[in-house]
Chain A
Amino acid sequence: EAQVTQNPRYLITVTGKKLTVTCSQNMNHEYMSWYRQDPGLGLRQIYYSMNVEVTDKGDVPEGYKVSRKEKRNFPLILESPSPNQTSLYFCASSFLRTGSTRSTDTQYFGPGTRLTVL
């Protein structure tokens, strides 16, 4: 089954304790992205990746890191979490047609990770 998976689904942690949220897709998508969802704000992009070893900042990158060492995986790293990073996090992926700046491909989302930082 084609899907985007995230782990863990739920996490409660304390301020300053490093954590990683994993994201994996089995659709051979080039493009992957992380979003956070907060009430009344919709989803906002944190980081994205166009391909292996190619990552860049989204709208709200502060306090987050990412890596893209393999095509299927795109982990989100919080080196020193703070309470304002309490949120619902979504990973998404899509194709990105090679050789073209245009892409009509739909982004598919994982089930979400609910993070609470105390």
Chain B
Amino acid sequence: AQSVAQPEDQVNVAEGNPLTVKCTYSVSGNPYLFWYVQYPNRGLQFLLKYITGDNLVKGSYGFEAEFNKSQTSFHLKKPSALVSDSALYFCAVRLDTGRRALTFGSGTRLQVQP
């Protein structure tokens, strides 16, 4: 069985400061890892994914994530937060085979203060 943990329900940062949203995963097999963002009353928007290769993945809106196999982590980062980054962020994992179901974490609400 696969699982994802997002240990923080909420992360607060000041605008202009770096941000990190944490994610750890558990899966047997090769993981595909994703970050999605959800704005109020909107669907999930894809930010970035790790499939293979370089452990640092760059995505939309200046976000990046670092895959760490030994720590089974895939933390989302951004060097300088914007107020408009305030949203709900979901980490997800799936295997490279089978029914391709995404297993999501419970979500982390990011609040960027002006």
Contact = CB atoms under 8 A, between A and B. Distances in A.
The answer on A and B forming one complex is yes
B101 A45 contact: yes
B34 interface: yes
Residue in A31, A35, A43 whose Cβ sees the most chain B Cβ within 10 Å: A43
Interface residues of A, number: 29
B34 A40 contact: no
A25 to B, nearest CB: 12
Contact of B46 (A43, A59, A106, A112): A106
B43 A112 contact: yes
- The 3 nearest A-B residue pairs measured at CB: A42-B104, A45-B101, A109-B44
Given A42-B90, A42-B103, A45-B102, 7 more contacts: A31-B100, A33-B101, A35-B102, A35-B104, A43-B90, A48-B101, A109-B46
A45 B44 CA distance: 14
Contact of A48 (B4, B90, B97, B100): B100
Interface of B: 4, 32, 34, 36, 42-46, 49, 51, 90, 92, 96-97, 99-107
Nearest to B101: A45
A104 interface: yes
Interface of A: 4, 31, 33, 35, 40-45, 48, 56, 58-59, 90, 92, 94, 96, 101-104, 106-112
A42 B51 contact: no
Nearest to A33: B101
B37 to A, nearest CB: 11
B111 to A, nearest CB: 17
B99 A48 contact: yes
A91 B46 CA distance: 14
27 contacts: A4-B43, A31-B100, A35-B102, A35-B104, A41-B106, A42-B104, A42-B105, A43-B90, A44-B104, A45-B99, A45-B101, A45-B102, A58-B99, A58-B101, A90-B44, A92-B102, A102-B96, A104-B96, A106-B34, A107-B46, A107-B100, A108-B46, A109-B44, A109-B45, A110-B43, A111-B42, A111-B43
